[in-house]
Protein backbone atom coordinates (compact mmCIF):
# COMPACT_ATOMS: atom_id res chain seq x y z
CA UNK A 1 0.00 0.00 0.00
CA UNK A 2 1.31 3.43 -0.95
CA UNK A 3 0.37 6.43 1.13
CA UNK A 4 -0.30 9.91 -0.22
CA UNK A 5 2.93 11.27 1.24
CA UNK A 6 4.95 8.45 -0.35
CA UNK A 7 3.55 9.56 -3.71
CA UNK A 8 4.55 13.13 -3.02
CA UNK A 9 1.04 14.40 -2.31
CA UNK A 10 0.99 16.58 0.76
CA UNK A 11 -1.55 19.03 2.04
CA UNK A 12 0.26 21.97 3.61
CA UNK A 13 -1.07 23.40 6.82
CA UNK A 14 -2.20 26.94 6.01
CA UNK A 15 -1.23 28.40 9.40
CA UNK A 16 2.41 27.30 8.93
CA UNK A 17 2.68 28.19 5.26
CA UNK A 18 4.16 31.66 4.78
CA UNK A 19 4.74 31.39 1.03
CA UNK A 20 1.10 31.41 -0.04
CA UNK A 21 0.32 34.65 -1.81
CA UNK A 22 -2.41 36.88 -0.49
CA UNK A 23 -3.98 36.88 -3.94
CA UNK A 24 -4.94 33.24 -3.47
CA UNK A 25 -7.39 34.02 -0.71
CA UNK A 26 -8.68 37.25 -2.26
CA UNK A 27 -9.44 35.53 -5.57
CA UNK A 28 -12.12 33.40 -3.92
CA UNK A 29 -15.50 35.08 -3.86
CA UNK A 30 -17.63 34.26 -0.82
CA UNK A 31 -20.68 32.07 -1.33
CA UNK A 32 -23.54 34.32 -2.44
CA UNK A 33 -26.47 34.73 -0.07
CA UNK A 34 -28.97 35.19 -2.91
CA UNK A 35 -29.26 35.23 -6.68
CA UNK A 36 -28.85 39.00 -6.98
CA UNK A 37 -25.50 38.96 -5.19
CA UNK A 38 -24.37 36.00 -7.31
CA UNK A 39 -25.26 37.80 -10.53
CA UNK A 40 -23.36 40.92 -9.40
CA UNK A 41 -20.17 38.96 -8.66
CA UNK A 42 -18.25 38.34 -11.90
CA UNK A 43 -16.80 35.00 -10.70
CA UNK A 44 -20.21 33.59 -9.80
CA UNK A 45 -21.81 35.07 -12.93
CA UNK A 46 -19.12 33.34 -15.04
CA UNK A 47 -19.73 30.03 -13.23
CA UNK A 48 -23.47 30.37 -13.87
CA UNK A 49 -22.84 31.24 -17.52
CA UNK A 50 -20.61 28.16 -17.92
CA UNK A 51 -23.34 25.93 -16.49
CA UNK A 52 -26.05 27.58 -18.58
CA UNK A 53 -23.99 27.24 -21.77
CA UNK A 54 -23.31 23.56 -21.02
CA UNK A 55 -27.05 22.97 -20.62
CA UNK A 56 -27.82 24.79 -23.87
CA UNK A 57 -25.07 22.93 -25.74
CA UNK A 58 -26.43 19.66 -24.38
CA UNK A 59 -29.93 20.61 -25.67
CA UNK A 60 -31.34 20.07 -22.19
CA UNK A 61 -34.60 21.88 -22.97
CA UNK A 62 -36.56 23.72 -25.58
CA UNK A 63 -38.46 26.92 -24.92
CA UNK A 64 -42.22 26.56 -25.38
CA UNK A 65 -45.21 28.74 -24.64
CA UNK A 66 -46.62 28.28 -21.15
CA UNK A 67 -49.09 25.35 -21.36
CA UNK A 68 -52.31 25.55 -19.37
CA UNK A 69 -53.09 23.25 -16.45
CA UNK A 70 -49.60 21.75 -16.05
CA UNK A 71 -47.21 21.87 -13.13
CA UNK A 72 -44.20 24.11 -13.81
CA UNK A 73 -41.22 23.21 -11.64
CA UNK A 74 -39.15 26.00 -10.17
CA UNK A 75 -35.48 26.11 -11.13
CA UNK A 76 -32.83 27.60 -8.87
CA UNK A 77 -29.09 28.15 -8.76
CA UNK A 78 -26.84 26.43 -6.23
CA UNK A 79 -23.36 27.93 -5.82
CA UNK A 80 -20.42 26.26 -4.14
CA UNK A 81 -16.64 26.27 -4.09
CA UNK A 82 -15.01 23.28 -5.76
CA UNK A 83 -11.78 22.02 -4.21
CA UNK A 84 -9.19 19.74 -5.75
CA UNK A 85 -7.87 16.51 -4.24
CA UNK A 86 -5.62 18.27 -1.71
CA UNK A 87 -8.46 20.54 -0.57
CA UNK A 88 -7.19 23.70 -2.26
CA UNK A 89 -9.72 25.93 -3.98
CA UNK A 90 -10.12 24.97 -7.64
CA UNK A 91 -13.02 27.03 -9.02
CA UNK A 92 -16.43 28.55 -8.47
CA UNK A 93 -19.20 26.10 -9.38
CA UNK A 94 -22.82 27.03 -10.09
CA UNK A 95 -25.41 24.38 -10.76
CA UNK A 96 -28.94 24.79 -12.05
CA UNK A 97 -31.25 22.48 -10.13
CA UNK A 98 -34.94 21.73 -10.19
CA UNK A 99 -37.00 22.09 -7.06
CA UNK A 100 -37.94 18.46 -6.53
CA UNK A 101 -40.43 19.47 -3.83
CA UNK A 102 -42.60 21.18 -6.42
CA UNK A 103 -42.91 17.99 -8.50
CA UNK A 104 -46.10 15.98 -8.25
CA UNK A 105 -45.98 12.19 -8.19
CA UNK A 106 -47.85 10.72 -11.14
CA UNK A 107 -47.67 14.01 -13.05
CA UNK A 108 -44.00 15.05 -13.19
CA UNK A 109 -42.39 11.90 -11.85
CA UNK A 110 -42.98 8.28 -10.99
CA UNK A 111 -40.11 7.60 -8.60
CA UNK A 112 -37.23 9.27 -6.82
CA UNK A 113 -33.69 8.10 -7.44
CA UNK A 114 -30.16 9.39 -7.17
CA UNK A 115 -27.84 8.45 -10.04
CA UNK A 116 -24.67 8.07 -8.01
CA UNK A 117 -22.58 5.13 -6.89
CA UNK A 118 -23.08 3.64 -3.46
CA UNK A 119 -20.10 3.90 -1.07
CA UNK A 120 -19.80 0.09 -1.01
CA UNK A 121 -19.20 0.05 -4.78
CA UNK A 122 -16.52 2.74 -4.49
CA UNK A 123 -14.79 0.79 -1.68
CA UNK A 124 -14.89 -2.39 -3.78
CA UNK A 125 -13.37 -0.67 -6.80
CA UNK A 126 -10.65 0.93 -4.65
CA UNK A 127 -9.87 -2.42 -3.01
CA UNK A 128 -9.49 -4.13 -6.39
CA UNK A 129 -7.34 -1.25 -7.70
CA UNK A 130 -5.11 -1.42 -4.63
CA UNK A 131 -4.72 -5.20 -4.86
CA UNK A 132 -3.76 -4.94 -8.55
CA UNK A 133 -1.53 -1.86 -8.02
CA UNK A 134 -3.58 0.17 -10.46
CA UNK A 135 -3.16 3.92 -10.60
CA UNK A 136 -6.21 5.86 -9.50
CA UNK A 137 -7.08 9.30 -10.81
CA UNK A 138 -9.91 11.59 -9.84
CA UNK A 139 -11.75 13.31 -12.66
CA UNK A 140 -14.38 16.00 -12.39
CA UNK A 141 -16.84 15.46 -15.22
CA UNK A 142 -19.09 18.43 -15.82
CA UNK A 143 -22.78 17.61 -16.21
CA UNK A 144 -22.07 13.86 -16.21
CA UNK A 145 -25.58 12.75 -15.19
CA UNK A 146 -27.37 15.15 -17.49
CA UNK A 147 -27.04 13.30 -20.77
CA UNK A 148 -29.94 10.88 -20.41
CA UNK A 149 -33.13 11.65 -22.31
CA UNK A 150 -36.34 12.11 -20.33
CA UNK A 151 -39.37 10.00 -21.14
CA UNK A 152 -41.70 12.13 -19.01
CA UNK A 153 -43.04 15.56 -19.91
CA UNK A 154 -41.53 17.99 -17.41
CA UNK A 155 -41.62 21.78 -17.54
CA UNK A 156 -39.40 24.15 -15.55
CA UNK A 157 -39.32 27.90 -15.32
CA UNK A 158 -36.52 29.59 -17.26
CA UNK A 159 -33.36 29.98 -15.14
CA UNK A 160 -33.36 33.25 -13.24
CA UNK A 161 -30.80 35.62 -14.65
CA UNK A 162 -30.84 33.82 -18.01
CA UNK A 163 -34.37 34.34 -19.32
CA UNK A 164 -34.78 34.70 -23.06
CA UNK A 165 -35.68 38.37 -23.48
CA UNK A 166 -37.78 37.68 -26.58
CA UNK A 167 -39.80 34.94 -24.81
CA UNK A 168 -40.11 36.03 -21.18
CA UNK A 169 -43.38 34.16 -20.67
CA UNK A 170 -42.07 30.87 -22.11
CA UNK A 171 -41.07 27.84 -20.04
CA UNK A 172 -38.51 25.10 -20.61
CA UNK A 173 -39.74 21.71 -21.78
CA UNK A 174 -37.04 19.39 -20.49
CA UNK A 175 -35.53 16.99 -22.98
CA UNK A 176 -32.83 15.82 -20.58
CA UNK A 177 -32.55 15.64 -16.83
CA UNK A 178 -31.26 18.36 -14.51
CA UNK A 179 -30.03 17.97 -10.94
CA UNK A 180 -32.50 17.30 -8.11
CA UNK A 181 -35.18 16.22 -10.59
CA UNK A 182 -37.27 13.30 -9.37
Report pLDDT for 119.
78
Residue 49 banded pLDDT, cuts 50, 70, 90: very high
User: pLDDT, tens digit, for every residue of 89-134?
Assistant: 888 999 888 875 555 555 554 454 445 567 788 889 889 999 999 9
Report pLDDT for 21.
42
Q: Taking 80 as the threshold, does the pLDDT of residue 62 lie above it? A: yes
CA 61 – CA 63 distance, rounded (Å):
7
Report pLDDT for 143.
57
DSSP H/E element including 51: helix 42-57
Could you tell me if 127 and 120 are in contact, meaning their C-beta atoms sit under 8 angstroms apart? no
CB atoms within 10 A of CB 173: 17
Report pLDDT for 40.
92
Q: Taking 50 as the threshold, does the pLDDT of residue 65 lie above it? A: yes
CA 146 – CA 55 distance, rounded (Å):
8
Q: Report the predicted TM-score, pTM, of the whole model to 2 decimal places.
A: 0.65
Report pLDDT for 104.
54
Q: Taking 50 as the threshold, does the pLDDT of residue 22 lie above it? A: no
**Share above pLDDT 90 across residues of the chain, in percent, rounded to a whole number:** 25
Parallel, antiparallel or unpaired: strands 155-156 and 72-73: parallel
Report pLDDT for 19.
46
Mean pLDDT of 52-77: 90
Report pLDDT for 178.
82
Instruction: Classify residue 161 as exposed, middle or buried by CB count within 10 Å of its CB (0-12, 13-18, 19+).
Output: middle
Amino acid sequence: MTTRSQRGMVKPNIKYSHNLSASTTTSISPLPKNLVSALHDLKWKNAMTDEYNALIQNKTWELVSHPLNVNIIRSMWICKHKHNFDDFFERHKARLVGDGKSQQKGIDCDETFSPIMKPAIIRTILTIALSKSWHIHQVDLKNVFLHGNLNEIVYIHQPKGFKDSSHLDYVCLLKKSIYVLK
